[in-house]
């Protein structure tokens, strides 16, 4: 309950699981200490809204743990996910005072928040932060290009396989688990969220999952946990190049 000593607080960023990939990855110790003083943690429940479209955006944030989604909607309610943010990803736009989209916590999520104006000033003084943010935006843009190819040209089955592949790869990166044999994947998105990611309805998601199950590509360990029988097979179904390593 008592506030930690500044040395202890300072060490937190270095121990942060998101630090080495986040905007602050290349900061000097001094810059890091500045952010230390500005930052505060916030926790969101599944389904909780982080930003509403058009709402004043008081802070920007790095995801420390959990998953958040960024969504665009049409006036009649049709919704498309346009960002799937994972730990170390950056949410919010330092130069904009109103959120240009909805951001929603998909799982239980912890954010490392920094007041927007303060962040903007700090950012503009630090080429390391700008450089890292630029690099991160570049990666995001690359991912979006593949995502657009998926949305525009892939079939429902290919879309579902692609999303599963994304989730598997993420888990392989994080958990560094054995490649041989069936791989168990925790699906941290609801069927509806999967549909919003892929531009499909929940019913189509279900049907394609059932079909992949019937064809032996995946197996089911409960509704939010699947096993992948063959990654290479899944790659083929997703119309993507097989795993390299």
| Binding residue for DNA, selected from 97, 142, 146, 192, defined by CB under 7 A | 192
| Binding residue for its own copies, selected from 12, 65, 80, 184, defined by CB under 8 A | 80
Beta carbon of residue 199, minimum distance to its own copies (angstroms, whole number): 3
Of the two residues 120 and 202, which places its CB atom closer to DNA in the complex? 202
State how far the Cα of 175 lies from the Cα of 193, in Å rounded to an integer: 23
Q: Which of 177, 159, 181 has its CA nearest to residue 240?
A: 159
Beta carbon of residue 15, minimum distance to DNA (angstroms, whole number): 30
State how far the Cα of 175 lies from the Cα of 180, in Å rounded to an integer: 14
Task: Supply the DSSP symbol for 5.
Answer: P
Q: Which stretch binds its own copies (CB under 8 A): 3-11, 54-62, 94-102, 109-117?
A: 94-102
Residues 6 or more apart whose CB falls under 8 angstroms from that of 129 comprise 23, 24, 26, 27, 31, 122, 123
Q: Which stretch binds DNA (CB under 7 A): 90-98, 115-123, 129-137, 207-215?
A: 207-215
Of the two residues 1 and 141, which places its CB atom closer to its own copies in the complex? 141
Q: Residue 210: which of DNA, its own copies, none does it interact with, CB under 5 to 8 A by kind?
A: DNA
What is the maximum alpha-carbon separation in the chain? 58
Of the two residues 119 and 147, which places its CB atom closer to its own copies in the complex? 147
| 202 binds DNA, rule: CB under 7 A | yes
Are 203 and 244 in contact by the 8 Å Cβ rule? The answer is: no
């Amino acid at each position: 309950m008592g506030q930690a000593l500044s040395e202890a607080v300072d060490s937190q960023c270095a121990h942060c699981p998101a630090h080495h990939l986040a905007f602050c990855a290349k900061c000097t110790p001094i810059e890091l200490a500045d952010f230390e003083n500005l930052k505060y943690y916030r926790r969101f429940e599944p389904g909780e809204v982080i930003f509403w479209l058009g709402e004043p955006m008081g802070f920007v944030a790095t995801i420390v743990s959990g998953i958040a989604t960024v969504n665009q909607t049409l006036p009649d309610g049709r919704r498309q996910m346009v960002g799937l943010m994972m730990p170390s990803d950056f949410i919010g736009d330092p130069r904009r005072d109103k959120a240009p989209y909805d951001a929603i916590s998909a799982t239980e999520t912890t954010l490392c928040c920094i007041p927007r104006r303060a962040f903007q000033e700090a950012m503009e003084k630090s080429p390391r932060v700008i450089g890292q943010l630029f690099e991160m935006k570049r990666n995001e843009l690359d991912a979006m290009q593949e995502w657009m190819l998926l949305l525009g040209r892939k079939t429902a089955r290919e879309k579902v396989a692609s999303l599963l592949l994304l989730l598997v790869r993420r888990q392989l990166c994080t958990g560094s688990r054995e490649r041989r044999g069936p791989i168990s994947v925790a699906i941290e998105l609801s069927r509806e969220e999967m549909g919003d990611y892929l531009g499909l309805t929940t019913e189509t998601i279900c049907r394609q999952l059932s079909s992949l199950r019937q064809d032996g590509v995946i197996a089911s360990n409960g509704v939010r946990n699947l096993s992948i029988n063959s990654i290479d097979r899944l790659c083929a179904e997703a119309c993507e190049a097989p795993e390299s390593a």
